[in-house]
Amino acid sequence: MRVTVFDYGAGNLHSLVKALAGPGTTVHVEPNPTAAVETDLLVLPGVGAFSSAVARLAPGADAMRRALADGLPCIGICLGMQLMFDASEEGPGQGLGIFPGPVRRLQADRIPQIGWNTVANVTEPTILRAGLREVYYANSYVCAPTDTRSVVAWSTHEHDRFAAAVRTGRVLGVQFHPEKSSQPGVRMLHEFLGEVRG
């Protein structure tokens, strides 16, 4: 199975690529958004700023929207999840709009949220099968879906409850970093890979 990590030029992807690797899986890093959708699974990684990421995504945004609408499996991590929404308070630019709603700043005294937090009210099978309860965050912004039926896990930072994960069809977004969430986080990624294979 070919896994493609879209590289918007904003950080070290080594830990994510390592976490995704495994028997029968080839992981490829692709900076061209149009070429990135020629794959079995697209990964939108979790490092960088919204505006610069959507600028890199823009030349292939329509192709990516079509591919996801046609059933291309995708997982978006942290910023990658935010790119699946309409727009962000972090800066200008249009997201993919897979999930209707904005990205907003965390409403908390301690920002960014960096470190471990709990996921609750989980209905996402890949998280449940992996036994993932504690997850690693590094974020100042969170997604605010207009339809909360897409939310498959929640977290709370101070008093701000936000979507930890969203899902529609074969598209999964997680606000946390599974590749930094110890063995259960890596298991969650491989549960999703196995689901795509199946």
Q: What is the Cα–Cα distance from 147 to 113, expressed in whole angstroms?
A: 24
Calpha distance 53→56 (Å, rounded):
5
Identify the DSSP state of 194.
H
191 carries an active-site annotation: no
User: What does 120-162 look like in DSSP terms, one character per residue?
Assistant: BS---HHHHHHT--EEEEEESEEE--SSGGGEEEEEEETTEEE
Catalytic residue among 78, 143, 157, 190: 78
Active site residue 157: no
Strand order in the sheet with 141-143: 87-88, 102-105, 141-143
**177 is annotated as an active-site residue:** yes
**Given the residues 30, 124, 179, 191, the one annotated as active site:** 179
Residue 173 has which token pair?
């977004």
Q: Identity (one letter) of the amino acid at 156?
A: T
Single out the catalytic residue among 30, 143, 157, 177: 177
Active centre residues (catalytic): 78, 177, 179
